[in-house]
Structure formats: structure tokens, C-alpha cells
Amino acid sequence: MRFAGKAALVTGASRGIGRAIALELARSGADVALVGRDTAALEETAALCAASRPGAVAEIFAGDVTDQSAMDRIVGLAVERFGRLDFAIANAGQSVDSLLLRLKAETIDHLLNVNLKSAFYLCSAVAKPMMKQRSGSIVLMTSIVGLMGNPGQAAYAASKAGLLGLCKSLAKELGSRNIRVNAVAPGLIETAMTEKLPDAAREFLVKQAALGRAGKPEDVSGVVAFLCSDAAGYVTGQTLVVDGGILM
């Protein structure tokens, strides 16, 4: 119950890593705002959060994270519902693979909108209530692909790499108000998105990992919870790699 009395907002909370993060925070005592477009899947996440502990509160706020006005509205409603907002996790993301010479402009725009611009919109919206209460923790979900690059994923890598600069810049902008901003860079995590990986690519990444296995969403959610906690009270502007040792 280390987060008792705290409120969190998680984008992309309908499945995978986002669902695991929401569940971890709810289990630890936080009220959780679940953001995404798939209402049915969000309801499943909400049910899991509610069952995680007696009195757990998980509210669904359906909306498009790439729409700045929608994010402003959702954050406003969440603050109105919970009275505060302590943690914000920009987890929404998508991957579309394409070699450069086949990469379409609309694919680039789509990935920048979902993976990068949505994080700008979330941070802009949550900064206001966090500055008012003079505290908060923002976590941006990037990827090891944003750190190392990958053939066929130039647009995805660029969008995720942009989050690294956003993290450091906002950490410097908001630090004087006691708002911390960090990033988490997962490696190969077993989610619906990584199910699309070719077997050869999956086998290569597993062999590269010092731990010799793919990660689980719960391997990531615990790290996010740490960054939200008082144990990370002097940690800001950092990127924590959660990849089982692929990038060593």
C-alpha cells in the first residue's frame, strides 16, 4: 500500500505492458485512470485492478491519445475524479515495420503521432496539476530500439528515440517543481505487439539476452512502480533499460 492516497494515469492501459503497469499501481494502493480507445479491453483491465485489492479504484477514460484536446479533457476529468494526479505513464505505442525505401509518409506520421506526440500531449496536460501540487512522477515508455536502432524499424526507432530527448528536457524544466521525468526502455517483452515478430528475429533477441529469455509485462511494471515511488525520489532524467541484458 505504498501508493495509498495517490492517483495514477496510464495510457495504452488496455493490454500488455500498460495493463500490467495499471495493475501494479492499483495493487500498491493507487487509484488508476485507464486511458485508451478499446473500451472493452479497458473494462477487463479495470476489473483486474478492482480485484487486486479491497477498495481499489480504476476508472476508464476512453479517448484518442493523439488528440491534444482529448488528452486535456481526460486529464481534467481524472483530476476532478481523484482530486490529484501523482503519476502519469505515457505507455501508448505502436510498431509498423518497413524498410526505408518502402516507408510511406503516412506510416511515419502515424508512428510519430502515437509514439511521440501523444507523450507531448500527456505531459503538457499533467504538468499543470502536478505543478500546482508541486509533486509528480512522469514515466515515458520508450524501447531499446530507440537506443540501438534496428533494420526495418527506422520510423519506430526514431519515434521512440524522440522520447529520450523529451524525458531529459522535461526533467530539467519541471525539476524545480519536484516533478520527476524518467523513461523505461523495454527489450523483447511478450505482448500482442511482439507476437508479430518473425521467429528468427525472436530467437536472435532471446540469444542476445544475458538472461536467455524474453521478458514479461510484469518485468517492466515493477520498474515503472519503482520510478513512481519515493525510493526513486532523487532519480530524474534517466532511462532504465529492461531487456534482460541485450544491450550490455
Closest CA to 67 of 11, 147, 21: 11
- In this structure, of 18-22, 64-68, 98-102, 225-229, the range with the lowest mean pLDDT score is 98-102
Q: Which fold has domain 7-242?
A: Rossmann fold (3.40.50)
pLDDT of residue 244: 97
Task: Identify which has the larger pLDDT, 151 or 238.
Answer: 238
Catalytically active residues are 156
Q: E strands, 4-107, where?
A: 7-11, 31-36, 58-62, 87-90
| Secondary structure (H, E, C), 21-37 | HHHHHHHCCCEEEEEEC
pLDDT of residue 191: 86
Instruction: Kindly report, residue by residue over 154-206, the tens digit of the pLDDT.
Output: 999 999 999 999 999 999 999 999 999 999 999 999 987 777 777 777 888 89
pLDDT of residue 6: 98
pLDDT of residue 132: 97
pLDDT of residue 128: 96
CA–CA separation, 110 and 34 (whole Å) = 22
Name the residue with cell 476532478. Answer: 80
CA–CA separation, 168 and 242 (whole Å) = 18
Q: E strands, 133-175, where?
A: 136-141
State the average pLDDT for the chain.
Answer: 95
Amino acid identity at 36 = G
Domain boundaries defined on the chain: 7-242
Instruction: Kindly report, residue by residue over 106-147, the tens digit of the pLDDT.
Output: 999 999 999 999 999 999 999 999 999 999 999 999 999 999
In this predicted structure, the answer to whether residue 1 has a pLDDT above a threshold of 80 is no
Closest CA to 62 of 92, 82, 36: 36
What is the 8-class DSSP label of residue 109? H
pLDDT of residue 204: 86
